Structures are given as C-alpha cells and as structure tokens.
Amino acid sequence: MAELDGKVIIITGGASGIGKQAALQLSAKGASLVIADYNLDGANAVAAELEAAGGKAAAFKVDVSKGEEVKALVDFAVEKFGTLNGIFNNAGIGLVKPFLEMDPESYHRVIDVDQHSVYYGMYYGAKKMVELGATGTIVNTASIYGTAAAMGSFNYNAAKAAVVMMSKSGALELAEYGIRVVGVAPGFINTPILGNDEAMKSALGAQHMRGQLIQPEKVASVVTFLFSDGASAINGQTIPVDDGFLSFKTK
Ligand code: NAD
C-alpha cells in the first residue's frame, strides 16, 4: 500500500509549475487528487496524465479569488472521492509595478488571488474536514517574498507575508481537529510565472547559492513530504525551498 492511499487532496494551480509537479508526486504516493485551476484545459491534461499512470484524479475549474468557487471546489472533491484530507493552496500570480504605480486594482488583484484564496481554501477546506471527521494537512504556497521585500512587489510581498502568518494562525486553531497547517516558501522556480525573459531569469537564478533557478520538482518533493506522516511534527512553519536565498546577501 502506498503511503497516501485513500487520502484525498485538492491542489490549486495544479495545471502548471509547482502544482503540476506536486500532483505527479502526490499521485505516485497514492493520493486521489482534484486538480483545480483557472486553466481547465491544463487541469484536464494533468488529471488525464495521472489517470493514464494508474492514479485517481479529477479536474475542476476554479477562480481561487472567489470564495463561492472555492467552496464549490471543496464540495466537488468530497462528491468525487468521498472525503477530504488535504488542500494545497498554491495557485498564484505576480503583477510587478513600482509602488507609485501600484493602483488599487493592481494591489487588490494580487491580494485577492494570492492571499484571500488561501483563506478561502483553509476555511472551506477545514470546515469540510471537521464536518466529515477527517484529519489531514493544509499546505500553503508562500514565497521568499513573504519575508524579503522586493522592488515592484508591494502587493505580492503583502500577500505572501499574510500567507506565512495565516499558516501559523491556522495551525494554532486547527490542531485540536487533527489538521496541520504548513507553508512552503519557494525561491526563484523555473515555471511559466517567471515569463520568457531569459536574461531576467538567469539574473534571478544568480541570486541562489548555487547560481541557478530551482526546478519545480524540488518544491514539489518538499510539499509531498509535508503531506506525509513523516512531517507530523512540523506545524505552523513555512519551509523555505530557496537554495539559501534567505540566508545570505548577494551584494
Ligand atoms: P505557474 O504560473 O506555473 O502556476 C500557477 C497556476 O495557478 C497556473 O496554472 C494558473 O492558471 C493558476 N492560477 C492563477 N490564477 C488563478 C486563479 N485566480 N484561480 C485558479 N488558478 C489560478 O506558477 P508557479 O511558479 O507554479 O506558481 C505556484 C505558486 O508558487 C504561486 O502561488 C506563486 O506565487 C508561488 N511562487 C512561485 C515562485 C516562482 O519563482 N515560480 C516563487 C515563489 C512563490
């Protein structure tokens, strides 16, 4: 029997990047997965790939910035697989602008998608788990930019710092129900969110100790561990997967 056999986990942003790699690794450990994403074609493709490899998966279209859609996602997971043991609140966007151009729309868009989404996933996910008497784990994707400020990232810095604290606060409140809450803080990961500017990407990679971008599989393997029993004593913390970024100063 695989380690996560019988466990039902929702992955938001599961169509691409870190979420897709987490889906591949969690499925290989036996978890039944709902691949939730705004990009339904991408989510369907990932679910089909998992099923072709013998896994159990279903796709669901969601805009994580809308609470009622996240609630519907949680209901769908339970209808489809009978229970809920975890949610990986991972979908996110960036929208880089100098602070003096950070108009309310740009600010709120990132707060809605990167911060409020995590609240919705935790709230509707945990309520459903408690209602079902199910235990499990919530993993939230933060960022190194939840700790370190970056130029043009006022909105993203604020959202990801909130995710770090929501993981602590949620862990404190949900421990008595057998629900752990943890976070991951990726460094610069080689996914579509970084765009296509190769010079910019290599400059970002140069800020890691090993001088290159991190592959999304490396974040996914930490996420997979956090969902496992081996991580049962990790609670409330956000684990950096940053190749040392937060540990040293480049210039
Ligand atoms: P990605 O662009 O490959 O994947 C993000 C996924 O989220 C996409 O499939 C996209 O369709 C989905 N998404 C975006 N907005 C959505 C919405 N409103 N509703 C539903 N789905 C939505 O990028 P990634 O790097 O895999 O990003 C995953 C997470 O990792 C994000 O929260 C991001 O902020 C975080 N992160 C990434 C990096 C990096 O360098 N790549 C660094 C730190 C943190």
15 three-class SS: coil
Q: Which of 87, 96, 189 best tests ligand 1's pocket when mutated (most atoms within 8 Å of CB)?
A: 189
The answer to whether the CB of 19 falls within 8 A of the CB of 90 is yes
Beta bridge partners of 12: 36
In a mutational test of the pocket of ligand 1, which residue from 68, 115, 193 has the highest number of ligand atoms less than 8 Å from its CB? 193
Q: Is the CB of 14 under 6 A from ligand 1?
A: no
**CB of 17 sitting under 6 A from ligand 1:** yes
Looking only at the bridges linking them, the beta strands covering 179-186 and 136-141 are parallel
Tokens of 204: 């970002």
Residue 60 is predicted with a pLDDT of 99
Report, as residue numbers or ranges, the catalytic residues.
156
CA-to-CA separations, 200 to 150, 190, 206, 207, in angstroms, rounded? 14, 12, 10, 11
Whether this prediction's pTM lies above 0.95 is answered by yes
91 close to ligand 1 (CB < 6 Angstrom): yes
Number of neighbours of residue 161 by Cβ within 10 angstroms: 18
Does pLDDT of 251 surpass 70? Answer: no
User: Which residue, among 158, 120, 111, has the nearest Cα to 138 in the 3D structure?
Assistant: 120
Q: Which helix (H) or strand (E) holds 28?
A: helix 17-28
Identity at 181, one-letter amino acid code: V
Structure tokens at 21: 């790699």
Q: What residue's CA is closest to ligand 1, atom 8?
A: 13
Query: What is the spatial distance between Cα 182 and Cα 24, in angstroms, rounded to a whole number?
Result: 20
| Mean pLDDT calculated for residue range 4-9 | 97
Other beta carbons within 10 Å of 3: 15
What digits encode the pLDDT tens for the residues 95-150? 999 999 999 999 999 999 999 999 999 999 999 999 999 999 999 999 999 999 99
| Structure tokens, 9 | 């986990």
| Arithmetic mean of pLDDT, 144-162 | 98
Q: Hunting for tokens 């056999």 — which residue is that?
A: 5
CB 167 within 8 A of CB 174: no
ipTM for the whole predicted complex goes beyond 0.95: yes
Polymer length in residues for the chain: 251
Arithmetic mean of pLDDT, 214-229: 98
- Tell me the average pLDDT of the chain: 97
| DSSP secondary structure code for residue 89 in this structure | E
23/34 Cα distance (integer angstroms)? 9
Q: How far apart are CA 7 and CA 214, in angstroms?
A: 28
Ligand 1 pocket residue status of 16, Cβ below 6 Å = yes
